[in-house]
Amino acid sequence: MADKKEVDRDEPCLQIGEVADRTGVTQRTLRFYEERGLLKPPTRMEGGFRLYSQNDVGRVEQIKRLQSLLGLTLAEIKDMVEAEEVQEELNATYRPDLDLPERIERVTKRIEVTQRQSEIISTKLAAMEEMKKEVDEKLDRFSTRLADLEKRRDEVASAAKG
């Protein structure tokens, strides 16, 4: 019945139109996210209809948030999302009885994926800081120009009175 992944029966399964409505993206966008690896291939019903879980809905909302807040590209979002998946997998497979080398390896992996997320965000912040600097410089120039014009206006008004 399920082509690509097992259905967690405890989670409600939503068809593509329902997910699109809940998340505010188009059905085509959902298919595109799937094609680009941003969403895992959904479970499919016998007729081939896609079925999404609440986790999938959360993933789409995370993608939208990353796009709108940080202006990330889909490739960057994929890296961010994959890093979260690694973290979730490590959490799901945690065992307190692991030997020390394995625990070190797991924490090292957490650091690696979190560093990648930090690099992506830092790159965006640097670009935004540069853009803000340019806008602030324009604002300073315009403010200086306005002050000069207002000074000239006041001088002309004073000369006309005197």
Tell me the pLDDT of the chain (162 aa) as tens digits.
Answer: 444 444 453 365 899 999 999 999 999 999 999 988 889 888 888 888 888 989 899 999 989 988 887 788 888 988 998 898 898 889 889 888 999 999 999 999 999 999 999 999 999 899 889 989 999 999 999 999 999 999 999 999 999 987
Give the per-residue pLDDT at 12: 56
pLDDT of 128 reads: 87
Sequence spans of domains, the chain? 1-70
What pLDDT is attached to residue 38? Answer: 87
Alpha carbons 97 and 95: distance in angstroms, whole number: 5
CATH code for the domain defined by 1-70: 1.10.1660.10
Sheet containing 14-15: order of strands: 14-15, 50-52, 43-44
CA distance 140 to 133: 10
- The residues with which 15 forms a beta bridge, in sequence order, are 51
Question: What is the pTM (predicted TM-score) of this model?
Answer: 0.62
